[in-house]
Amino acid sequence: MPLTLSIAAYFVVAVIILMFGRRIGRAVTLVAAVPYVGQIVLVTVRWPTRDPASTESFDWIPSLGVAIGLRIDAVTLLLTAVVAGIGLLIVIYSDRYFPDARRRARFLGLLAVFTGGMAGIVVSNELFGMFIFWEVTTVASYLLIGFDDEKAAARSAALQAILVTAAGGLAMLAGFVILALESGTTTIGSLVADPPTGTTVTVALVLVFIGAFTKSAQFPFHFWLPGAMAAPTPASAYLHSATMVKAGIVLLLFLAPGFASTDVWLWVVTTTGLITMAVGAVVAMRQFDLKLLLAYGTVSQLGFMTALIGLGYTGTALAVLIAHSLFKAALFLIVGIVDKSTGTRDVRKLDGVGARLPVVAVAGAVAAASMAGIPPLLGFVTKEAAFDVLIADQAWIALAAIAGSSILTVAYSTQWWFGAFGNQQITSELDARPAYPSMVASPVVLGVLTIALGIWPGPLGKAIGEAVGQSVKLVLWPGFKPALALSTVVILSGLAVVWGVRTIGVERLPTAKELHLPTGKGIYAWSIRALNATAEFTTGVVQNGSLPVYVAVIITSVLFVPSMVWFFNWDATIDLELWNTPAEVGLALVAIVGAIAATRVQRRMASVLLLGVVGYAIAGIYVIFSAPDLALTQLLIETLTVALFALVLVKLPRRFGVRPRSLSSRSRAAVSILAGVFVTIGALITSTVTPDRSLTAAYVQQAEDAGGRNVVNIILTNFRALDTLGEITVLAAAAIGITTLVMTMRSSGTKDQA
């Protein structure tokens, strides 16, 4: 239960902040920090007694066998520590990043929603429970990317991110359903313990891959991640480097024990990872925006992890994941500080920032060096571990690709640091304000962790080894081995590349477009255009603006289907009893006369009043058949309808037919007569059916059980309560419609309606 509560706390705090954030004021940051601290405490307390069999689960949709299950073992505790720990640093950082209290509260609230989802993903033990948390992060990410909602670029970047990741999420859901059907279990633990096989499972895996790849910005879906840099920097630091984009990697980590030995896993995951790693690194070289450079760097590093998982090195991948979360979050936060203090992230404008923000520059150097894989940092240790396993297993192609991309990683890491903090003799005066200590604290803490874990990686390696059940060798000094030689070559080549690029000039490098790197962006743009065009076309046809046409379409479609049924299954013998009481005849005559007159009069108001007469007559018939509820409602509805009609009619011409008609009188008459004939036949047929009295008795009995004697009301509010809920929602929508209609008419100043 404590784990469930610790995750629920995020959502509770999110609601509190989003509702009362402004009233809480400055203390909002403290409130926001509560769930993060809670989870850190939980991990600390649980770590010594971690029990692989310890789970918490509760039924969610028992009829479908869907449950939310959480497990508490080494791997989930480790990932929870990453999520909550970095999250806490981001919260502290955000306190000063958002000077405006309202924006700060909104950001921290949305961040808590996101973290709740992310913390749920990393501990999920149930496929469908995980899917829900997965989508929570998708939606929260959408809101955070579009945080500056007054900017069109932010809105479209957010839309792009949610469309790509949600589409992937749907593919993943389909994959989950197939896996659950094939294996007969929805629990991830049992699924990987006894994995199903066959072609169907291969299809399911590919679908799950699409979900993981879209989330983790793998080629060719990677284009949404650079766009997502429209988000506020703390959000990018957390979602788009340290956590959310890791969700796909985490999913693959969870599934790897069961499926990593299949061919589809080896080929699809490894190839995608390697291509992504290379594409990201190449494009990162050509960036001038510090944040975009990091975004492409993230794409590249995610590809690295994916490739390792594809080859089955889950432990090494997890180590790289942790190292990457630490240095990349720090790098983003540092970009945020530089941006805040100078007002730009463009390397062509930044000059001499290192001298003015020395502490930040040092923290940046540590993080960038860890990204480049320089000893004695965690980035070096994990990359070394990756080289070591690849050499040991003689995976030469993967090794070559990873080493090649790593050379570029060294190069763009160096470029990033010199771009942000270097001196480059630009004449423009750049004003750098000093940074807040609370903002500098977070990257410094991450930097200290990177150094500490780099120098003393043993415990982390042990924990990871236990988590994935695969021994992982994390050591700072491996001895003179091929891996060390490779690292040295990579670092030196990387520096050579930097020297080369500096000599040529970054702006002379070919852009991604010039390189003709394939990306999914074109397909995305094309589908959005096609969707819009289809929507416009359909709207043009279906919504042509003529009310009579709408009504005619509705009536004829209602007529068509049931009348076909009658046409083909006509077996009713009509045995007619004309009336029970003479009063019926009188009321029917009133209704008929009223209806005919309503079609004949020329004045709109008279026509509406005559329709009211028809309605009252029908209410009278209800009374005769002792249906007081119906009669009451009918009378009230008729009265109000006539009155509301009158309100609208004063704005229309008094008489019909002043303006040209969209539907000829003949076709109107035809539709009306058809509808009349249809209803008459329907009434005749229903009157011949012998009613099943037991049904009535059953309803009365059940209404008694439900605690009421008015069967009609009990049906509306109890047996069919969901329908009623839907209906009142429609009423609310109608009210919104009326308001919008009147508002737009007023603002556009169309007065010819009057």
| Site for another protein contains 713 (CB under 8 A) | yes
Nearer to another protein, 393 or 705 (CB): 705
Q: Give residue 282's Cα distance to chain centre.
A: 29
Nearer to another protein, 181 or 738 (CB): 738
Tell me the closest approach of the beta carbon of residue 728 to another protein, in angstroms. 4
| Site for another protein contains 574 (CB under 8 A) | no
Please say whether the dihedral angle defined by the alpha carbons of residues 551, 553, 557 and 560, taken in this order, is positive or negative. positive
| Site for another protein contains 541 (CB under 8 A) | no
Contact 135, 166 (CB under 8 A): yes
| Site for another protein contains 735 (CB under 8 A) | yes
End-to-end distance of the chain based on CA atoms, in angstroms?
Answer: 64
| Site for another protein contains 636 (CB under 8 A) | yes
Among 647, 658, 683, 695, interactor with another protein by CB under 8 A: 647
Quote the strand ranges of 116-219, DSSP E.
none
Tell me the closest approach of the beta carbon of residue 624 to another protein, in angstroms. 15
Tell me the closest approach of the beta carbon of residue 629 to another protein, in angstroms. 5
| Site for another protein contains 640 (CB under 8 A) | yes
**Which residue has 């808590």 as its token pair?**
112
Tell me the closest approach of the beta carbon of residue 754 to another protein, in angstroms. 7
Among 32, 74, 143, 714, interactor with another protein by CB under 8 A: 714
Contact 591, 618 (CB under 8 A): yes
- Contacting residues for 643 by C-beta, under 8 A, at least 6 apart: none
Among 643, 669, 677, 698, interactor with another protein by CB under 8 A: 643
- Pairing label, strands 66-71, 55-61: antiparallel
| Site for another protein contains 5 (CB under 8 A) | no
Of the ranges 171-179, 352-360, 508-516, 707-715, which one interacts with another protein (CB under 8 A)?
707-715
- By residue count, the chain amounts to 754
Among 423, 532, 639, 696, interactor with another protein by CB under 8 A: 639
Tell me the closest approach of the beta carbon of residue 739 to another protein, in angstroms. 6
Tell me the closest approach of the beta carbon of residue 310 to another protein, in angstroms. 43
Contact 233, 338 (CB under 8 A): no
- Count the Cβ atoms, other than its own, within 10 Å of residue 192: 16
Instruction: Count Cβ atoms within 10 A of the Cβ of residue 315 and give its class: 0-12 exposed, 13-18 middle, 19 or more buried.
Output: buried
Among 632, 677, 698, 700, interactor with another protein by CB under 8 A: 632
> x-or-dash pattern for another protein, window 28-57, by CB under 8 A?
------------------------------
Tell me the closest approach of the beta carbon of residue 609 to another protein, in angstroms. 15
Among 51, 194, 629, 705, interactor with another protein by CB under 8 A: 629
Distance (Å, rounded) from C-alpha 568 to C-alpha 548?
A: 30
DSSP 148-160: STT-HHHHHHHHH
Nearer to another protein, 541 or 731 (CB): 731
Nearest to 118 by CA among 167, 85, 151: 85
| Site for another protein contains 739 (CB under 8 A) | yes
Distance (Å, rounded) from C-alpha 480 to C-alpha 352?
A: 39
| Site for another protein contains 547 (CB under 8 A) | no
| Site for another protein contains 471 (CB under 8 A) | no
| Site for another protein contains 202 (CB under 8 A) | no
Tell me the closest approach of the beta carbon of residue 65 to another protein, in angstroms. 16
Tell me the closest approach of the beta carbon of residue 142 to another protein, in angstroms. 24
| Site for another protein contains 648 (CB under 8 A) | yes
Tell me the closest approach of the beta carbon of residue 721 to another protein, in angstroms. 4
Tell me the closest approach of the beta carbon of residue 750 to another protein, in angstroms. 9
Nearer to another protein, 459 or 653 (CB): 653
Q: Encoding tokens for residue 25?
A: 């004021």
Contact 210, 173 (CB under 8 A): no
Among 99, 628, 653, 676, interactor with another protein by CB under 8 A: 628
Quote the strand ranges of 284-348, DSSP E.
none
Distance (Å, rounded) from C-alpha 308 to C-alpha 320?
A: 9
DSSP summary character for residue 695: H
Cα dihedral 221, 217, 287, 318, rounded to 10, equals: -150
DSSP summary character for residue 198: S
| Site for another protein contains 64 (CB under 8 A) | no
Nearest to 172 by CA among 215, 222, 140: 215
C-alpha atoms less than 13 angstroms from C-alpha of 331 in its C-beta half-sphere: 34
Looking at residues 687 to 706 of the shown chain, list those that interact with another protein (rule: CB under 8 A). 706
| Site for another protein contains 652 (CB under 8 A) | no
Q: Encoding tokens for residue 275?
A: 């291509």
Count of positions on this chain that bind another protein (CB under 8 A): 41
Q: CA 230, 235, 240: angle at the middle one, nearest 5? A: 80
Tell me the closest approach of the beta carbon of residue 516 to another protein, in angstroms. 53
How much is the CA Rg of the chain, to the nearest whole Å? 34
| Site for another protein contains 721 (CB under 8 A) | yes
Helix (H) or strand (E) holding 553: helix 547-568
Of the ranges 72-80, 317-325, 450-458, 738-746, which one interacts with another protein (CB under 8 A)?
738-746
| Site for another protein contains 731 (CB under 8 A) | yes
Among 27, 504, 578, 728, interactor with another protein by CB under 8 A: 728
Q: Encoding tokens for residue 552?
A: 């005619």
| Site for another protein contains 637 (CB under 8 A) | yes
Distance (Å, rounded) from C-alpha 423 to C-alpha 431?
A: 14
What residue ranges bind another protein (CB under 8 A)? 628-629, 632-633, 636-637, 639-640, 643-644, 647-648, 706-710, 712-714, 716-718, 721-722, 724-725, 728-729, 731-732, 734-735, 738-739, 741-742, 745-746, 751, 754
